[in-house]
């Protein structure tokens, strides 16, 4: 009888806690399902008996709700909120609101974790053992709660907790490239913001968006595209933006907007946008004052100026510093900042395009206001599958720089391809600029270790759209996750991040974790190989940026050579690649020594950047002993093989995965394998018209001829229809 009751109870428990939500990906990495290992579950049930969060600030309230919901799910029972701590209580708070924490932590001690950091420790106080989450401010309490929950989600032991987590990165921000109402060019599908419902109706997704961001430490968001829409600066939209800001505020997520330099003309009806004009100055000040009435903690503006047709101060013979400082002065009284983008290039300047940002900004080091930070893409061109790090990092010690990474997969197959991007972020962050000698990593430049910047930060171009699972591809979520984790701690490794994400998103089964995180970490190199091996770049189909288009040349009506593929690969009968060495455009000179020499000399240039910096003969011998042509073909082939292996592995993992998410990925992998093959074959048959060499052994022969690839159009890719 006893056994029967026991069985019934456990069945009841199970039934009770089978997730009500379908596995549609909505819950991201915050799934909070019952801990599946019975021993570990038992351990947590014994270790955690209740919680106490005595602060009732909005942020601590959401921390409490999160803790309560999560523990109910993970432990399969709802835990009491207690007013007196006993053994196994989680005590979370700040010294202002928790007398226990005030007794245990001095201000100095808490300051070690900084304004947003926290401690998580096992503490014995007055004979009682509890888990404490202590922070200087309530946002640290929320972050600490998410940290502890992550540990439980990952089934970690809580016996000897001594966590101190802090960040040097102040602005950890998403940039949505959303137009009203579409996401840019379909990279992420439709926008998540329902402008026509705001401010009256608030989609519950907005709260979950803020929760998810807070869980990885993201503390800011630019709601719309850098190609800015001036409507956002009208009272009608300010009210809508304010409604979103109200939802995000408890989660520590501040709202920022993209500003257009000509807004004073377009909305303000002035006849100039000259940054030194007094009416223009007054207009921005008035607009900023008004914005802050709606949103008292408004973060500031991001600006794309004099780039790709956007207006800017140069149109008025002023400098980027004049333009940025104008806006900086308008928001400074309210504590706002300006993120001025360094992604600029001009078709009228007859310079190698990748040299232009450095040339335009470096001379202005130290000329920007204290509340300006320059936002610099990870590489000097444009989020290519592989680029060298941007030479501005380290070159502007008097001007804060923040890297801009692309989370959305503009050049990585949109929402259709599986590519875990942490390795590409990591490659940039761990690149050694040598600006202060060896060890001057980009991460150390941007977090202020080397440069002592007054503002620090990291921006990520968001891949969040209106899809139920947020990012279209389930694995797109991992890039959002990775960005947040690296923005908090730019020294984390891709392996660590992948493992965390898999454990929280799928399972703690060791074997499965190893297999999924293993292929995630490889997936970026695979994507580089089937698209642009050995330093090739910008050979995608112009306009869509999805499929290959190495043949894309200048349309006689289009004056921009730097939007073509041939401008970048420069293939001819002798060889391929862009000579940026000292005998070519000399872009290498923008780097510090010895990076400059490393990139400059073909013999020592890293092979994965070879064709970025050099025009190399088809017969050039590589380290493998193979010729450039053979190696290029083999790398393309490896890329296709690599993605096929991921596909096979995914199929093998089916028994360990839920049907819905398995299928989301399976169906996309079929397309990815097909597209990888198209990339490989198209590029090989195209470059073969120059090399005139046979395709080496071991390379799968191309399926079609060049004309077929040129004529090919996709009809089944979200964001593209009947487009290349």
Using CB under 6 A as the criterion, which residues of the chain lie in contact with ligand BDP when the complex forms?
184, 226-227, 304, 308, 343, 382-383, 410
Q: Which of 475, 520, 471, 480 is CA-nearest to residue 499?
A: 520
User: In angstroms, rounded to a whole number, what is the distance separating the alpha carbons of residues 595 and 584?
Assistant: 17
Encoding tokens for residue 288? 């900023």
Options 229, 308, 607, 649, the catalytic residue: 308
602, 581 in Cβ contact below 8 A?
Answer: yes
Q: Which among 218, 254, 298 has a CA at the least distance from the CA of 462?
A: 218
* Cα diameter, the chain: 89
Is 410 a known active-site residue? Answer: yes
CB neighbours of residue 228 within 10 Å: 24
382: annotated active-site residue? yes
- Residue nearest ligand BDP, Cβ-based: 382
Query: Smallest distance, Å, CB 251 to ligand BDP?
Result: 27
Which residue among the candidates 116, 410, 467, 600 is catalytic per the annotation?
A: 410
Q: Which is nearer to ligand BDP, 227 or 449 (CB)?
A: 227
Closest CA to 215 of 250, 251, 245, 249: 251
Closest CA to 677 of 665, 687, 669: 669
CA–CA dist 75, 45 (Å, integer): 6
Could you tell me if 472 and 633 are in contact, meaning their C-beta atoms sit under 8 angstroms apart? no
> Which of 342/640 has CB closer to ligand BDP?
342
In the three-class reduction of DSSP (H, G, I as helix; E, B as strand; rest coil), residue 188 is classed as coil
Nearer to ligand BDP, 304 or 614 (CB): 304
- CB of 410: closest distance to ligand BDP in angstroms? 5
Given the residues 116, 178, 382, 600, select the one marked as catalytic.
382
Residue 93, SS3?
Answer: strand
- Least distance in angstroms from the C-beta of 404 to ligand BDP: 8
Specify whether 42 is catalytic. Answer: no
Q: Least separation, in Å, of the C-beta of 421 and ligand BDP?
A: 14
> Least distance (Å) from ligand BDP to the CB of residue 209?
22
Is residue 316 within 8 A of residue 272, CB to CB? The reply is: yes
Helix, strand or coil, per DSSP, at residue 123: strand
User: Rounded CA gap, 313 and 321, in Å?
Assistant: 9
Secondary structure of 535-601 as H, E, C letters: HCCCCECCCCCCCECCCCCCCCCCCCHHHCCHHHHCCCCCEECCCCCCCCCCHHHHCCCCHHHHHHC
CB of residue 383 to ligand BDP, shortest distance in Å: 6
Q: Least Å distance between CB 492 and ligand BDP?
A: 25
DSSP 229-258: -GGGGSHHHHHHHHHHHHHHGGGT-EEEEE
Residue 167 or residue 375: which is nearer to ligand BDP going by CB? Answer: 375
Minimum CB–partner distance for residue 183 and ligand BDP (Å) = 11
Cα gap 275→329, rounded to integer Å: 11
Produce one character per residue of 15-27: b if its CB has 16 or more CB atoms within 10 Å, e if not.
eebeeeeebebeb
Residue 212 or 458 with smaller CB distance to ligand BDP: 458
Per-residue DSSP letter, 591: S
Identify which of residues 405 and 650 has a Cβ nearer to ligand BDP in the complex: 405
Quote the least distance from Cβ 461 to ligand BDP, whole Å: 7
d(CA 580, CA 599): 9
Kindly give the interhelix angle for 58-75 and 38-47, rounded to the nearest 10 degrees.
140
Helices 422-429, 476-488: axis angle to 10 degrees equals: 30
Q: Which is nearer to ligand BDP, 119 or 187 (CB)?
A: 187
CA distance 498 to 454: 31
Indicate the helix (H) or strand (E) that contains 51: strand 50-53
Whole-angstrom distance, CA of residue 617 vs CA of residue 615 = 7
Asked whether the bond before 199 is cis by omega within 30 degrees of 0, the reply is yes
Least Å distance between CB 633 and ligand BDP? 28
Q: Which is nearer to ligand BDP, 116 or 410 (CB)?
A: 410
CA atoms within 13 A on the CB side of 397: 9
CB of 115 to ligand BDP, least distance (A): 30
Nearer to ligand BDP, 183 or 250 (CB): 183
Query: First-to-last CA distance in the chain?
Result: 68
State the nearest-atom distance from the C-beta of 542 to ligand BDP, in Å.
Answer: 10
Residue 184 vs 447, nearer CB to ligand BDP:
184
- Please tell me the distance from the alpha carbon of residue 718 to that of residue 724, in angstroms, as a whole number: 12
CA nearest neighbour of 656 among 547, 551, 520, 516 = 516
CA dihedral 699, 705, 709, 713 (to 10 degrees): -120
Which are the catalytic amino acids? 308, 382, 410
């Amino acid at each position: 009888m006893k056994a029967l009751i026991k069985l019934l109870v456990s069945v009841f428990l199970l039934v009770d806690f089978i997730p009500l939500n379908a596995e549609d990906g909505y819950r991201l990495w915050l799934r909070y399902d019952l801990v599946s290992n019975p021993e570990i579950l038992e351990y947590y049930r014994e270790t955690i008996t209740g919680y106490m969060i005595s602060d009732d600030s909005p942020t601590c309230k959401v921390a409490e709700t999160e803790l309560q919901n999560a523990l109910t799910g993970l432990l399969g029972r709802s835990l009491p909120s207690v007013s007196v701590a006993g053994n196994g209580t989680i005590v979370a708070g700040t010294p202002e609101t928790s007398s226990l924490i005030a007794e245990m932590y001095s201000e100095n001690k808490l300051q070690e974790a900084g304004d947003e950091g926290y401690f998580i420790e096992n503490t014995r106080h007055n004979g009682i053992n509890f888990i404490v989450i202590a922070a200087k401010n309530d946002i640290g309490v929320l972050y600490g709660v998410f940290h502890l929950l992550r540990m439980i989600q990952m089934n970690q032991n809580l016996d000897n907790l001594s966590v101190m987590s802090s960040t040097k990165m102040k602005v950890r921000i998403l940039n949505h490239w959303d137009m009203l109402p579409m996401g840019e060019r379909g990279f992420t599908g439709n926008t998540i913001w329902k402008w026509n419902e705001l401010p009256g109706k608030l989609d519950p997704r907005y709260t979950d968006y803020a929760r998810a961001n807070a869980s990885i430490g993201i503390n800011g968001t630019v709601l719309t595209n850098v190609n800015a829409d001036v409507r956002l600066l009208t009272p009608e939209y300010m009210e809508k933006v304010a409604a979103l800001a109200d939802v995000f505020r408890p989660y520590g997520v501040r709202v920022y907007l993209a500003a257009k330099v000509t807004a004073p003309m377009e909305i303000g009806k002035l006849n100039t946008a000259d940054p030194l004009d007094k009416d223009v100055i007054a207009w921005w000040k008035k607009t900023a004052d008004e914005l802050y009435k709606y949103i008292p903690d408004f973060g500031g503006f991001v600006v794309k100026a004099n780039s790709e047709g956007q207006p800017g101060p140069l149109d008025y013979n002023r400098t980027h510093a004049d333009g940025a400082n104008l806006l900086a002065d308008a928001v400074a009284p309210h504590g706002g900042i300006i993120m001025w983008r360094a992604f600029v290039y001009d078709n009228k300047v007859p310079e190698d395009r990748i040299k232009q940002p450095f040339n335009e900004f470096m001379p202005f080091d130290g000329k920007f206001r204290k509340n300006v930070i320059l936002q610099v893409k990870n590489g000097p061109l444009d989020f290519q599958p592989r680029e060298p790090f941007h030479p501005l990092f380290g070159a502007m010690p008097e001007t804060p720089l923040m890297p801009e990474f692309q989370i959305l997969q503009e050049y990585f197959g949109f929402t259709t391809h599986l590519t875990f991007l942490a390795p590409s972020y990591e490659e940039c962050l761990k690149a050694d600029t040598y600006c202060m000698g060896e060890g001057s990593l980009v991460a150390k430049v941007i977090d202020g270790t080397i440069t002592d910047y007054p503002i620090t930060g990291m921006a990520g171009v968001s891949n969040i759209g209106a899809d139920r699972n947020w990012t279209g591809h389930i694995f797109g979520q991992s890039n959002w996750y990775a960005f947040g984790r690296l923005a908090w701690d730019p020294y984390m490794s891709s392996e660590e991040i992948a493992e965390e994400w898999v454990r929280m998103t799928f399972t703690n089964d060791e074997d499965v974790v190893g297999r999924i995180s293993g292929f995630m970490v490889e997936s970026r190199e695979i994507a580089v190989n089937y698209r642009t091996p050995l330093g090739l770049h910008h050979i995608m189909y112009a306009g869509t940026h999805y499929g290959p288009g190495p043949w894309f040349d200048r349309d006689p009506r289009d004056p921009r050579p730097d939007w073509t593929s041939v401008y970048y690969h420069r293939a001819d009968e002798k060889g391929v690649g862009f000579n940026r060495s000292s005998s070519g455009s000399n872009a290498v000179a923008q780097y510090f020594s010895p990076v400059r020499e490393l990139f400059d000399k073909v013999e020592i240039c890293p092979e994965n950047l070879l064709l970025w910096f050099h025009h190399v003969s088809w017969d050039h011998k590589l380290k493998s002993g193979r010729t450039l042509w053979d190696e290029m073909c083999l790398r393309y082939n490896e890329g296709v093989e690599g993605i096929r292996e991921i596909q096979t592995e995914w199929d093998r993992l089916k028994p360990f995965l839920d049907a819905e998410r398995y299928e989301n990925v399976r169906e996309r992998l079929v397309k990815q394998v097909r597209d990888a093959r198209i990339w490989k074959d198209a590029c090989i048959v195209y470059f073969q018209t120059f090399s005139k060499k046979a395709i080496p052994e071991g390379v799968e022969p191309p399926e079609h001829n060049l004309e077929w690839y040129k004529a090919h159009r996709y009809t089944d890719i979200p964001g593209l229809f009947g487009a290349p």
